[in-house]
């Protein structure tokens, strides 16, 4: 059973557009929600993360929006660039634990 | 720092063969883990360790063994490879805080 549900599976966006990837969860013990970025042939790397005490976190062109009551969080990539083309994974971790539960991934393609 | 290193990068096995995937980190991280990545399924946790001498099972442990004799190394053993174990395997480590650092992966094919 997938603990973190991610959509869409793939996404194509024009350069300069906004990319939006959504994730949902049920486990109320989750208290840390990171997003990882993975380029072909490489391991995932942490992009940005949020805790449920805030509703939004922004780092450059990347923003996480968090809705605690709906148990949903999303990644917004503003002014998307061809270099952002990668697979993005959302994840979640329970309080006091180290293990991450990952979503199924979204392959983003930004067209020049 | 080399970070998290994995060997080999690629491996082809025949059904029933055994092998060990190597993982090492030079960041003195206590927490290490192994994931497998399959298309449409994301990354799934196989085994993890919170320190030398301590290991535990993740979501998909069957067919795999691990040990942690040192802080630096966390090898993953396939005892009798099956085609269902064809996957990309990632090792990760963290200080026990938030960010996990991933290795470059091992692409395994079992024929």
Q: What is the pLDDT of residue A43?
A: 96
Question: Do the Cβ atoms of A98 and B33 come within 8 Å?
Answer: yes
Over residues A14-63, the pLDDT tens digits come to: 999 999 999 999 999 999 999 999 999 999 999 999 999 999 999 999 99
B34 touches chain A (CB under 8 A): no
Over residues B2-33, the pLDDT tens digits come to: 899 999 999 999 999 999 999 999 999 999 99
B32 touches chain A (CB under 8 A): no
Question: Do the Cβ atoms of B42 and A102 come within 8 Å?
Answer: yes
As a residue count, chain B comes to 111
Cβ(A27)–Cβ(A4) below 8 Å? no
A29-62 burial code (b ≥16 CB/10 A, e <16): ebebbbbbbbeeeebbebbbbbeeeeeebeeeeb
Over residues B60-101, the pLDDT tens digits come to: 999 999 999 999 999 999 999 999 999 999 999 998 767 899
Contacts of B94 in chain A (CB under 8 A): 98
Distance from C-alpha of B52 to C-alpha of A80, rounded to nearest angstrom: 43
Contacts of A64 in chain B (CB under 8 A): none
Distance from C-alpha of A58 to C-alpha of A48, rounded to nearest angstrom: 8
Other CB atoms within 10 A of residue A94 CB: 16
Cα torsion for A71, A97, B44, B22, to the nearest 10°?
150
Of A42, A49, A98, the CB nearest to B104: A42
B100 touches chain A (CB under 8 A): yes
Strand ranges inside chain B, DSSP E: 4-7, 10-13, 19-25, 31-38, 42-51, 54-57, 64-66, 76-78, 87-94, 101-102, 106-110
Over residues B33-61, the pLDDT tens digits come to: 999 999 888 999 999 999 999 999 999 99
Contacts of A39 in chain B (CB under 8 A): none
Cβ(A111)–Cβ(A15) below 8 Å? yes
Cβ(A41)–Cβ(A34) below 8 Å? no
Residue of B nearest to A107 (CA): B40
B43 touches chain A (CB under 8 A): yes
């Amino acid at each position: 059973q997938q603990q973190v549900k991610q959509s869409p599976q793939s996404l194509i966006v024009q350069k300069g557009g906004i990319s939006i990837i959504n994730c949902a969860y049920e486990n109320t013990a989750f208290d840390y929600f990171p997003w990882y970025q993975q380029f072909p042939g490489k391991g995932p790397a942490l992009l940005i993360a949020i805790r449920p005490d805030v509703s939004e976190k922004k780092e450059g062109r990347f923003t996480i929006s968090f809705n605690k009551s709906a148990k949903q969080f999303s990644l917004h990539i503003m002014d998307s660039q061809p270099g952002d083309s990668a697979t993005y994974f959302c994840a979640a971790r329970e309080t006091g634990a180290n293990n991450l539960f990952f979503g199924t991934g979204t392959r983003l393609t930004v067209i020049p | 720092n080399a970070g998290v290193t994995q060997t080999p990068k690629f491996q082809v096995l025949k059904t029933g063969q055994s092998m060990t995937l190597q993982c090492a980190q030079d960041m003195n991280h206590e927490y290490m883990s192994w994931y497998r990545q399959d298309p449409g399924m994301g990354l799934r946790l196989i085994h993890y360790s919170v320190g030398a001498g301590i290991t535990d099972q993740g979501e998909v442990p069957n067919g795999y063994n691990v040990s942690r004799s040192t802080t630096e190394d966390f090898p993953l053993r396939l005892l009798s490879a099956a085609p269902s174990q064809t996957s990309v395997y990632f090792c990760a480590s963290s200080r026990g805080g938030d960010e996990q650092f991933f290795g470059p992966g091992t692409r395994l094919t079992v024929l």
